[in-house]
A and B are shown apart, each in its own frame.
Chain A
Amino acid sequence: MPQNNQKPIVEVSDLDVFFNTTQGQLHAIRSTNWSVSQGETLVILGESGAGKSVSVHAVSGLLPITAKITGSIKFEGEEILGSDEESLRKLRAEKIGVIFQDPLAALDPCFKVGAQIAEIFTVHRGMSKKEAWDEAVKLLDSVQIPDPERRANQFSHQLSGGQRQRVVIAMAIALSPTLLIADEPTTALDASVQVAVLELIKKLRNERKMAIVLITHNIGVAASIADRIAVMYGGRIVEIGDAKEVLQSPRHPYTQALLASMPKIGSSATERLITITGTPPSLATIPGGCSFHPRCSRAIAKCSEIVPKIELNKSGSLHSFACHNPEGAKS
């Protein structure tokens, strides 16, 4: 790993997540392994229902109470699965910041944005109201909101989409967390605002040496920010590795097909796009064997029976994938 010298912030191993529903038990996440180090950005890429959000919120502890989590989640070397509610609460408050997709839903419409940020400091740092407010204004300045004093006095409906997301980012980094979880942080934003927000996240990562786990379904977003990429499909990680390698020489047929199906700028108007047939499975209908086999052009008999193991190459390779019949293999 390029960040091998940095200490790992989160290490997830053999993580399984089940949900108990009225229709029986859903097996949402299936034996996933990933980690993220200080100053590193891991992007989890996948379509809806792939299990991206469930994976990271198993770490942040934001899964519903019906979720059953097995495996191991280590945060800065300490096992957090099964630890008591009070220490988890403290960990979440101090060490983990979360940014969600829709900033309007993440902010309270009835309070000034400055007050919402200041509350964090009064509760967790015991500051006086005045101190906390000044701290909030400083924070707004550091997420590049112009005229932060005036903005702090405004309500969320008076801000633009990009500014709202900056406020949410400010709240997430207020207590200097070591891990920032960004769940589709730019999906609700316009294209040019999206670029600016990604730039801000990059800048904060470099300044504060946070580990970032960013969830997206947008390959462009992944390419612009990721150090490493994990591709998820049907509750499993099917490919993980160095961003450059995953995007330039993808090995899993799903990643390959996904990259090929993107319209490229400058492609002629008479061209057709390469498509993946069928639809992504819902968590209730994940097929046996490799989750992708019903839609895969390279599927062989084995694929519907045995789950391919993700080959973690010990020889220092940064790139691993789970496939019985990858391109270039003897079949």
Chain B
Amino acid sequence: MTNSGTPLVQAIDLIKDYKIGPRGSRTNLRAADHVNFSIYRGKTLGVVGESGSGKSTVASILAKLLAPTAGSIQFDGTDIASLSGASLKKFRRRIQTVFQDPFSSLNPKMTVLKSISEPLVVHKIGTKQERVARVEELLVMVGLEPSYASRYPHQLSGGQAQRVSIARALALQPEFIILDEPISSLDLSIQAQILNLLKDLQQKFQLTYLFIGHDLGTVAFISDDIAVMESGKIVETGSVETIFNNPKHEYTKKLLSAVLDPTKDLGRFI
């Protein structure tokens, strides 16, 4: 693990149980099972695993959108379970999320200006003119023309809409951003653009990322460390190099062998 000082985010023995099944015969589904990890300031932790492995459950607990059944999240030294009222609102400014499908995370009835400035309005930041100026600044930051402020989501391409979601996540100058499959719904030639953008922004603002993905190649490109999840458990964690060059757990090996690498697959012709 690459560590430098104390971690910004620390998950300690997280457990999340969902009750499933019909009333009277409820059973427990353990979506997160003793999950532990640390993310250091300015670094990226990549979480990989197949659907249903508990990746998004963990992300929701980190963002305090879900309460864990047991265990805790330390954010910058504070247990987030203890936050409420003003302190919770302050915490919400420091952590933001970008989801997979930009069109379902942007309100179709709001212009880009309104969407991006909404967090500023909620947190009562700036006057109206200041907010407009800030939105234009943010648009330029994510590689869009300021004139996009007057557009509606349906007038954007997938890549542009995802840039808007990223701009909205940046509006409150957060320290930590949860990226939940942010490029999975984008076209191939756009994925590389967004990955580069995320990397540039991380360097520029010293951002800390949790990057959730199912494509190991992509996750490896952006992450410093990788945690591999299988049915609620982190089965292996380590630096990108260790995971790729020396995978220990069977499931990690299985995931690695499932990577369809064109250069590797071309071997079959030779």
Interface centre among A191, A195, A259 (most CB of B within 10 A): A191
- Interface 0/1 of A238-270, CB less than 8 Å to B: 000001100110000000011101111111010
**Cβ < 8 Å to B, chain A residues 42-58:** 47-48
B261 touches A273 (CB 8 A): no
Could you tell me the distance in whole angstroms from the C-beta of B246 to the nearest C-beta in chain A? 13
A260 to chain B, nearest CB (A): 9
Report which of A193, A264, A274 forms a contact with B263, defined as CB distance below 8 A: A264
Q: Which of A267-286 contact B (CB under 8 A)?
A: 267, 269, 271-277, 279-280
A284 to chain B, nearest CB (A): 13
Known A-B contacts A258-B189, A266-B244, A279-B159; A191 and B215 likewise in contact (beta carbons under 8 Å): yes
Given A191-B215, A192-B50, A219-B188: A263 touches B258 (CB 8 Å cut-off): no
The binding surface of chain B is classed by DSSP as helix
Contacts of A217 on B, CB cut-off 8 Å?
A: 187-188
A190→B195 contact, CB < 8 A: no
Output the least CB separation between A126 and chain B (Å): 41
Given A191-B255, A273-B192, A273-B221, are A279 and B50 neighbors across the interface (CB < 8 Å)?
Answer: no
Number of A-B contacts (CB under 8 A): 116
Interface residues on A, range: 35 or more
Which residues of A have CB within 8 Å of B224?
Answer: 269
| Nearest 8 CB-CB pairings of A with B | A220-B260, A263-B221, A261-B192, A223-B262, A223-B265, A190-B50, A273-B192, A191-B258
- Which chain B residues border A128 with CB–CB below 8 Å? none
Name B residues whose Cβ lies closer than 8 Å to a Cβ of A.
50-51, 157-160, 187-193, 195-196, 199, 214-218, 220-224, 240, 244, 254-255, 257-263, 265-266, 269
Let me know if A261 and B189 touch, CB within 8 A: yes
Contacts A48-B187, A265-B217, A266-B244; A244 near B266 (Cβ below 8 A): yes
Instruction: Judge whether B215 and A275 touch: CB under 8 Å.
Output: no
Closest chain A residue to B157 by CB distance? A279
B261's partner among A161, A265, A276 (CB-CB below 8 A) is A265
Within 8 A of B (CB), among A170-217: 190-195, 217
A136 at the interface (CB under 8 A from B): no
**B189 in contact with A191 (CB, 8 Å):** no
The answer for the CA separation of A273 and B191 in the assembled complex, in Å, is 10
B262 to chain A, nearest CB (A): 4
Q: Is the CB of A275 within 8 A of B189?
A: yes
In the assembled complex, the Cα of A261 lies from the Cα of B195 at a distance in Å of 10
